[in-house]
Structure 1
Amino acid sequence: MRNLSIRKYLRNKIGWMYLISGGLLLGTSLLGLFYSSVAVPVPVILHIILEKTFNIGWLEMVPKNEEMIIWNIRLPRVLLGFCIGASLALAGAAFQGLLRNPLADPYTIGVSSGASLGAVLVLFFQFTIVGLGSFTLPFVAILFGLISLLVVFGLVHLSSKSLAIETIILAGIIVSAFIGAIVSLIISLSDRDSMTQIIYWLYGSVGMRGWSHVQLILPFMLIGSFILFYHYRELNALALGEEAADHIGVDVKKGKTFVLIGASLLTGAAVAVSGSIGFVGLVIPHLVRLVTGPNHRHVLPLSLIIGGAFLILADLMARTIIAPKELPIGVITALIGAPVFAFLLIRERLGRGIRR
């Protein structure tokens, strides 16, 4: 009877969590559309979106500049913010579950560093790949992110055939440190204009992006999300330890490989279109686990929803705090995420001390 009551309570709590997170996403999305440094009436905003998407409208005359602001700037920016935040938070949840470490995030494995290096090389040499045009930077960033993943895998296979968690973390740290040194070297060799451009990109932003960037990240987000959602059982089993997972029939090596690929696709695509944005993949999954527990059946989708909502809100703050100027979104996520994560660490440490 007691176990039945506990299960019913958990189901109700998780149901409320989905409802609250969905409301949070809807609220932040509407804020991102309605509120900015340029005021556009709410009826006009709704008319533009409905007319463009469903060919339904009721206003006879809409100023062209307002239509451009809403349809070509604000809406793709909100959607891009959701995709980036959702991708980073989902990848962070997967990495934390895989590595059984709450300090793991999309940057642990070195994919973010590789993607950053690719983008910095494009900005430094100012080259364009024939046929890609403005897509050169994100394409090269994704390519270098995947190359860094292969390098990490190569180091792991050379040192350990079992894909041990400790070896993966160590290889990711080695690759990230080496790539970080190369990025620093490139920045030091750049002229003032290139240096400013590179540093601003590294801070992270969703400004000056449009529908083309949404179309770029969306396929990688959908594929990576599908891979992780499909393998949530392997993540639950790996939480018990590799030996325990192997005993209950889970192909540990195959499961870890798929999780790493899915999370790396999400991270590489997000970094490619926005730059380096920290703490989303670190804090959001940690907060979700505090409420839902360790079951990745709920941790993964809730991290996706809340991560997307968080980045939309962070972007809104970045473009309105010192309007008409704009802060890099990575600064906002760090200012919010670092104190929150420090609080969570202290709270967990104090909780362990009390239990002892």
Structure 2
Amino acid sequence: MIKTIQSRRQQQLVLLVLTLLTLATIIAALGIGGSSVSFSRIIPTLLGQGSFVDEFVIFSIRLPRMIVTLLAGMALALAGAVLQGVTRNELADPGIIGINAGAGVGVTVFFLFAPLEVGSFVYVLPVVAFAAALLTAVLIYWFSYSRAEGLQPIKLIITGVGFSLALSGVMIVLISSVDRVKVDFISRWLAGNVWGTDWPFVLALLPWLILLIPFVLYKCRSLNLLALNEETAVGAGVPIQRDRILLMLAAVALAASAVSVTGGIAFIGLMAPHIARALVGPRHQLFVPVSILIGGWLLLLADLIGRNLADPDGLPAGIVVAFIGAPYFLYLLLKK
């Protein structure tokens, strides 16, 4: 009992620190950029007392981009935490095991061949990405599952990496025969460029998190048992197949909705759960909320660094994350 209370207090402290870090990063991102806004003018502008230029820069350019980035990072981190629990593999990540690539193929096909402008089907993009990612996840799961041994975690990673490479090749083939403007867009999408930077994209992404975050938090007990082994879960009365399928669907939906507006960003779903476990322990009730905040903050910070690191367009957030995430993935691979 005492240990549980201490763990809760530790979690609350970590959540408070992460919230303050996120707010500090948001303030920095509002003021820094090609059209700088004085930090002394940020609060008055947010309260409706700023100049026209300051209000345009903050409310039309920076604030929607930051909210999209924050929500996408949260979604990717939560998807990674769920996948790692369901598959019992701490190397699982929607970007590494091919789910992001599956969503990317769906978005690419829709963008290249749907007779619509991007802005007119912004609310359909997450659904298209989810359908493509779901098909990819089903195939990966099918190839990684055996009736005798159940889901094989190592085989899941190997199969997912193979699917990711194959689907990346499919995207290259798809864009090889289209006009330059669409090629540029898809290329930046593949690099993890945050392209959904307007308020409609916030509205397209937000409902997925409003629905799925409470669902995953409610299922944390099942995730604790699934992360151990199937025999323990069955003995505790957990409907394994139903919960595994529902949680996998939630992870796929979270990852697909995020990458549909931010591009192919990997490693957030790998790093955030690991950092959260190191801070508050392995119980899902404790580390999942922490993981959500870490994921949002990491992607927000990566986008801030990338936008201001190189002129004129900066570096895509996905590349900045990869500079950190790739060595971290190799470290985990060697350690595990």
TM-score by length of structure 1 reads: 0.83
The separation in 2 between residues aligned to 1:66 and 1:188, in whole angstroms, is 41
Asked if the contact 2:95–2:264 (Cα under 8 Å) also holds between the matched residues in 1, the reply is: no
Instruction: Say whether residues 1:42 and 2:34 are aligned partners.
Output: no
Cα 1:146/1:336, change in 2 over 3 Å: same
- Give the structure with higher Rg (CA): 1
1:48 to partner: Cα distance:
2.8
Q: Which residue of 2 aligns with 1:28?
A: 25
Q: Which residue of 2 aligns with 1:10?
A: 7
Aligned length: 335
What are the residue-to-residue correspondences of 1:226-245 with 2, within 5 Å?
A: 226-245=214-233
Cα 1:344/1:82, change in 2 over 3 Å: same
Asked if the contact 1:106–1:112 (Cα under 8 Å) also holds between the matched residues in 2, the reply is: yes
Asked if the contact 1:223–1:262 (Cα under 8 Å) also holds between the matched residues in 2, the reply is: no
Asked if the contact 2:95–2:265 (Cα under 8 Å) also holds between the matched residues in 1, the reply is: no
SS of residue paired to 1:189: coil
The separation in 2 between residues aligned to 1:342 and 1:278, in whole angstroms, is 14
The separation in 1 between residues aligned to 2:197 and 2:39, in whole angstroms, is 23
Q: Which residue of 1 aligns with 2:207?
A: 219
SS of residue paired to 2:176: helix
Q: Which residue of 1 aligns with 2:172?
A: 184
The separation in 2 between residues aligned to 1:37 and 1:130, in whole angstroms, is 25
Give ranges in structure 2 of 5+ residues lacking alignment: none
Instruction: Say whether residues 1:288 and 2:288 are aligned partners.
Output: no
The separation in 1 between residues aligned to 2:307 and 2:13, in whole angstroms, is 31
The separation in 2 between residues aligned to 1:129 and 1:71, in whole angstroms, is 23
SS of residue paired to 2:225: helix
Greater shift, 206-215 or 306-315, is seen at 206-215
Percent identity among equivalent residues?
Answer: 33
1:221 to partner: Cα distance:
1.6
| CA-based RMSD | 2.9
Give ranges in structure 1 of 5+ residues lacking alignment: 52-58, 350-356
Q: Which residue of 1 aligns with 2:296?
A: 308
Cα 1:105/1:71, change in 2 over 3 Å: same
Deviations 1:3-33 (A, max 9, x none): 84x5554344333222222222222122222
The separation in 1 between residues aligned to 2:121 and 2:240, in whole angstroms, is 41
SS of residue paired to 1:77: helix
The separation in 1 between residues aligned to 2:143 and 2:116, in whole angstroms, is 31
What are the residue-to-residue correspondences of 1:90-109 with 2, within 5 Å?
A: 90-107=78-95
Deviations 1:125-159 (A, max 9, x none): 363289944545444333322343454566678x6
The separation in 1 between residues aligned to 2:18 and 2:28, in whole angstroms, is 15
Deviations 1:211-266 (A, max 9, x none): 00000011112222122111100110112211111112111111111110111110
Asked if the contact 2:122–2:204 (Cα under 8 Å) also holds between the matched residues in 1, the reply is: no
User: Which among 257, 273, 277 is matched to residue 261 of structure 2?
Assistant: 273
